[in-house]
Amino acid sequence: MRSIFITGGAGFIGSSAAEFFAKKKWDVYILDNLSRKGTRINLNRIKDKIKKFYLEDIKNYKKLNLILKKIKPDVIIHAAGQVAVTKSIVSPREDFNDNILGTLNLLEVIRNNKLKCKLIYTSTNKVYGNLNYLKLKKNKDRYFFKNLKKGVNEEFNLDFHSPYGCSKGAADQYVNDYSRIYNIDGYVLRQSCVYGTNQFGIEDQGWVSWFIIASIFKKKFKVYGDGKQVRDILYIDDLNNLYYKIALNKKKLTTNRIFNVGGGNKFSLSLLGLFKILKKEYGLKLKYSFRSERKGDQKIFISDNSKISKIFNWSPKVDPIKGTRILINWVIKNKKKVNSIL
């Protein structure tokens, strides 16, 4: 029986991955400190499907070491950490400890115990900064890259903006370098905007989910900037399928192990574009006001998935219309749970 260990396993991405691998008949172990809203709800959803839950923090090296020495998993998905730019600006030390120290602890446990496992690290597109040197054009609904056909690839310069960008970027580089120096089988996925069911979006993180939840509950929400900002959005099922392909891959990569992962050009969407879908397709009434754009925000980010697609034969399948429909139906069906988080 194959086994997988997931840090942040009660979060949105972690719990979805846990459920996915459990359905594939893997032994699933998760670790989470349950500090974020919604994690207890997610844990209750998956607790009967997983092998074991550890109420622990990745900042605790001794406990993490004891757990992984015992499990010796085939695959580790590292999804724990601080996830919001805004919170990192308010509490940069906490952001540093969660994202850098926590990741270093995990790498050191793998190295010191010579664990033969794959490590998948959930990084972010924020490591590229605000990309304000790129030439853009726009129409009434969205921004476009003027000269980029496929989007941002892995050759773009790193430019860490915000403490969050610094901490995720540093951890990103630690995983990549431990793979080179210590022969750890690590993979860095610089993920764009991931959305889907069981995501309790808030203003600071998970914008697709947050706008849908706010609309269904008829709450006023804020739009920072002009609303024409664009992201390529990736439905959670597509991301889980990628994790699975990496987990099953038997050939150890010898080249750079950093990948941009998102919806790509085909599944890119502006905030105003999402609003149009919600109004036209589902008749939702949106109550929002505009605010000044936030520091370090990217006017547009679209992942060039060419590298990950070539190596793992993967591409996203769930388009924004289908993905938002599934998410809306989930929110309506789980109003009581969602409202408890609000």
- Which amino acid, one-letter code, is at 37? K
Catalytic one among 121, 128, 164, 178? 164
Beta bridge partners of residue 28, listed in sequence order: 4
What residue has token string 């996925």? Answer: 189
DSSP 8-state code for residue 100: I
Dihedral of CA atoms 42, 47, 52, 58 in degrees, nearest 10, equals 10
CA of residue 232 relative to chain centroid, distance: 12
Classify each residue of 142-166 as buried b or exposed e, where b means 16 or more C-beta atoms within 10 Å of its C-beta.
Answer: bbbbeebeebbebebeebbbbbbbb
Residue 164 annotated as catalytic: yes
Cα maximum dimension of the chain: 56
Distance CA 199, CA 15 (A): 10
Q: Contact at 8 Å (CB) between 24 and 187?
A: no
Distance CA 233, CA 321 (A): 11
Catalytic site residues? 164
